[in-house]
Structure 1
Protein backbone atom coordinates (compact mmCIF):
# COMPACT_ATOMS: atom_id res chain seq x y z
CA UNK A 1 0.00 0.00 0.00
CA UNK A 2 1.28 3.48 -0.86
CA UNK A 3 1.73 6.02 1.89
CA UNK A 4 1.02 9.71 1.59
CA UNK A 5 3.15 12.02 3.67
CA UNK A 6 4.26 15.62 3.59
CA UNK A 7 7.03 14.60 1.19
CA UNK A 8 4.55 13.13 -1.31
CA UNK A 9 2.27 16.15 -0.89
CA UNK A 10 5.13 18.53 -1.69
CA UNK A 11 6.06 16.45 -4.75
CA UNK A 12 2.48 16.74 -5.99
CA UNK A 13 2.52 20.50 -5.43
CA UNK A 14 5.76 20.82 -7.39
CA UNK A 15 4.38 18.68 -10.22
CA UNK A 16 1.12 20.63 -10.42
CA UNK A 17 2.23 24.15 -10.03
CA UNK A 18 5.59 25.19 -11.32
CA UNK A 19 6.95 27.80 -9.00
CA UNK A 20 4.47 26.82 -6.31
CA UNK A 21 5.51 27.69 -2.88
CA UNK A 22 5.91 24.08 -1.79
CA UNK A 23 8.76 25.26 0.38
CA UNK A 24 6.10 27.17 2.37
CA UNK A 25 4.65 23.81 3.38
CA UNK A 26 6.80 22.48 6.21
CA UNK A 27 6.11 20.47 9.35
CA UNK A 28 5.60 23.78 11.15
CA UNK A 29 3.00 25.03 8.64
CA UNK A 30 0.96 21.91 7.80
CA UNK A 31 -1.90 23.17 9.99
CA UNK A 32 -1.97 26.54 8.22
CA UNK A 33 -4.87 27.10 5.82
CA UNK A 34 -4.06 26.79 2.13
CA UNK A 35 -5.06 30.40 1.49
CA UNK A 36 -2.55 31.63 4.08
CA UNK A 37 0.14 29.56 2.37
CA UNK A 38 -0.60 31.29 -0.95
CA UNK A 39 -2.66 28.52 -2.57
CA UNK A 40 -5.94 29.68 -4.08
CA UNK A 41 -8.89 27.34 -4.59
CA UNK A 42 -7.92 26.57 -8.20
CA UNK A 43 -4.45 25.45 -7.15
CA UNK A 44 -5.89 23.30 -4.35
CA UNK A 45 -8.32 21.73 -6.83
CA UNK A 46 -5.44 20.99 -9.21
CA UNK A 47 -3.44 19.41 -6.38
CA UNK A 48 -6.41 17.26 -5.34
CA UNK A 49 -7.02 16.16 -8.93
CA UNK A 50 -3.38 15.07 -9.22
CA UNK A 51 -3.59 13.19 -5.90
CA UNK A 52 -6.72 11.40 -7.13
CA UNK A 53 -5.03 10.46 -10.40
CA UNK A 54 -1.75 9.36 -8.86
CA UNK A 55 -3.06 7.59 -5.76
CA UNK A 56 -6.47 6.32 -6.88
CA UNK A 57 -8.38 7.96 -4.04
CA UNK A 58 -11.51 10.06 -4.31
CA UNK A 59 -11.93 13.42 -2.63
CA UNK A 60 -15.56 14.48 -3.08
CA UNK A 61 -16.07 18.18 -3.75
CA UNK A 62 -18.23 18.55 -0.64
CA UNK A 63 -15.44 17.00 1.47
CA UNK A 64 -12.83 19.26 -0.07
CA UNK A 65 -14.47 22.27 1.60
CA UNK A 66 -13.51 20.77 4.99
CA UNK A 67 -9.90 20.06 4.03
CA UNK A 68 -8.53 23.55 4.50
CA UNK A 69 -4.94 22.67 5.45
CA UNK A 70 -2.22 20.42 4.08
CA UNK A 71 -2.43 18.32 7.27
CA UNK A 72 -6.17 17.78 6.81
CA UNK A 73 -5.74 16.78 3.16
CA UNK A 74 -2.78 14.50 3.90
CA UNK A 75 -4.72 12.85 6.71
CA UNK A 76 -7.76 12.32 4.50
CA UNK A 77 -5.70 10.76 1.72
CA UNK A 78 -3.94 8.48 4.21
CA UNK A 79 -7.34 7.35 5.55
CA UNK A 80 -8.52 6.57 2.03
CA UNK A 81 -5.36 4.64 1.23
CA UNK A 82 -5.57 2.57 4.40
CA UNK A 83 -9.23 1.76 3.72
CA UNK A 84 -8.45 0.51 0.22
Structure 2
Protein backbone atom coordinates (compact mmCIF):
# COMPACT_ATOMS: atom_id res chain seq x y z
CA UNK A 1 0.00 0.00 0.00
CA UNK A 2 1.51 3.33 -0.94
CA UNK A 3 0.47 6.78 0.16
CA UNK A 4 -2.63 7.98 1.88
CA UNK A 5 -5.19 9.66 -0.33
CA UNK A 6 -8.85 10.57 -0.32
CA UNK A 7 -9.60 6.98 -1.33
CA UNK A 8 -7.90 5.61 1.79
CA UNK A 9 -9.57 8.27 3.93
CA UNK A 10 -12.98 7.16 2.59
CA UNK A 11 -12.17 3.54 3.43
CA UNK A 12 -11.28 4.50 7.00
CA UNK A 13 -14.54 6.44 7.37
CA UNK A 14 -16.50 3.44 6.07
CA UNK A 15 -14.72 1.08 8.47
CA UNK A 16 -15.24 3.37 11.45
CA UNK A 17 -18.87 4.07 10.74
CA UNK A 18 -20.77 1.22 9.20
CA UNK A 19 -23.21 2.65 6.71
CA UNK A 20 -21.51 6.04 6.48
CA UNK A 21 -21.85 7.70 3.12
CA UNK A 22 -18.14 7.96 2.42
CA UNK A 23 -18.89 8.35 -1.29
CA UNK A 24 -20.10 11.86 -0.44
CA UNK A 25 -16.53 12.65 0.58
CA UNK A 26 -15.07 13.98 -2.63
CA UNK A 27 -12.58 16.63 -3.67
CA UNK A 28 -15.16 19.37 -3.12
CA UNK A 29 -15.16 18.79 0.66
CA UNK A 30 -11.43 18.34 1.23
CA UNK A 31 -11.02 21.84 2.66
CA UNK A 32 -14.27 21.75 4.67
CA UNK A 33 -13.75 21.63 8.43
CA UNK A 34 -14.70 18.35 10.10
CA UNK A 35 -17.32 20.11 12.24
CA UNK A 36 -19.02 21.45 9.11
CA UNK A 37 -19.08 17.89 7.75
CA UNK A 38 -20.86 16.75 10.91
CA UNK A 39 -17.77 15.10 12.47
CA UNK A 40 -17.35 16.01 16.11
CA UNK A 41 -14.04 15.64 17.94
CA UNK A 42 -14.85 12.07 19.02
CA UNK A 43 -15.46 11.04 15.40
CA UNK A 44 -12.21 12.65 14.28
CA UNK A 45 -10.37 10.91 17.13
CA UNK A 46 -11.80 7.54 16.09
CA UNK A 47 -10.74 8.15 12.47
CA UNK A 48 -7.25 9.14 13.62
CA UNK A 49 -6.97 6.07 15.84
CA UNK A 50 -7.89 3.80 12.93
CA UNK A 51 -5.38 5.57 10.68
CA UNK A 52 -2.66 5.10 13.30
CA UNK A 53 -3.47 1.40 13.65
CA UNK A 54 -3.76 0.68 9.93
CA UNK A 55 -0.95 2.89 8.59
CA UNK A 56 1.52 2.81 11.51
CA UNK A 57 1.55 6.60 11.75
CA UNK A 58 1.57 8.47 15.04
CA UNK A 59 -0.80 11.42 15.28
CA UNK A 60 -0.21 13.21 18.60
CA UNK A 61 -3.24 14.88 20.18
CA UNK A 62 -1.62 18.28 19.67
CA UNK A 63 -1.30 17.61 15.93
CA UNK A 64 -4.83 16.24 15.72
CA UNK A 65 -6.15 19.49 17.18
CA UNK A 66 -4.60 21.32 14.20
CA UNK A 67 -5.88 18.88 11.56
CA UNK A 68 -9.28 20.41 10.95
CA UNK A 69 -10.08 19.23 7.42
CA UNK A 70 -9.85 15.98 5.47
CA UNK A 71 -7.14 17.58 3.31
CA UNK A 72 -4.97 18.45 6.30
CA UNK A 73 -5.34 14.97 7.81
CA UNK A 74 -4.62 13.28 4.48
CA UNK A 75 -1.51 15.42 3.91
CA UNK A 76 -0.26 14.83 7.45
CA UNK A 77 -0.60 11.06 7.17
CA UNK A 78 0.73 10.87 3.62
CA UNK A 79 4.01 12.49 4.65
CA UNK A 80 4.47 10.19 7.64
CA UNK A 81 3.74 6.69 6.33
CA UNK A 82 6.77 4.51 6.89
CA UNK A 83 8.74 3.89 3.69
CA UNK A 84 8.69 0.13 4.14
CA UNK A 85 4.87 -0.07 3.93
Work out whether residues 24 and 37 of structure 1, in 8 Å CA contact, stay in contact via their aligned partners in 2. Answer: no
**Over aligned residue pairs, what C-alpha RMSD do you find?**
1.6
CA distance in 2, matches of 1:46, 1:21: 16
CA distance in 2, matches of 1:70, 1:58: 17
TM-score, normalized by length of structure 1? Answer: 0.90
Structure with more of its chain in helix, by fraction: 1
Superposed displacement of residue 82, structure 1: 6.1
TM-score, normalized by length of structure 2? Answer: 0.89
Aligned residue pairs, count: 84
Unaligned runs of 5+ in 1: none
Unaligned runs of 5+ in 2: none
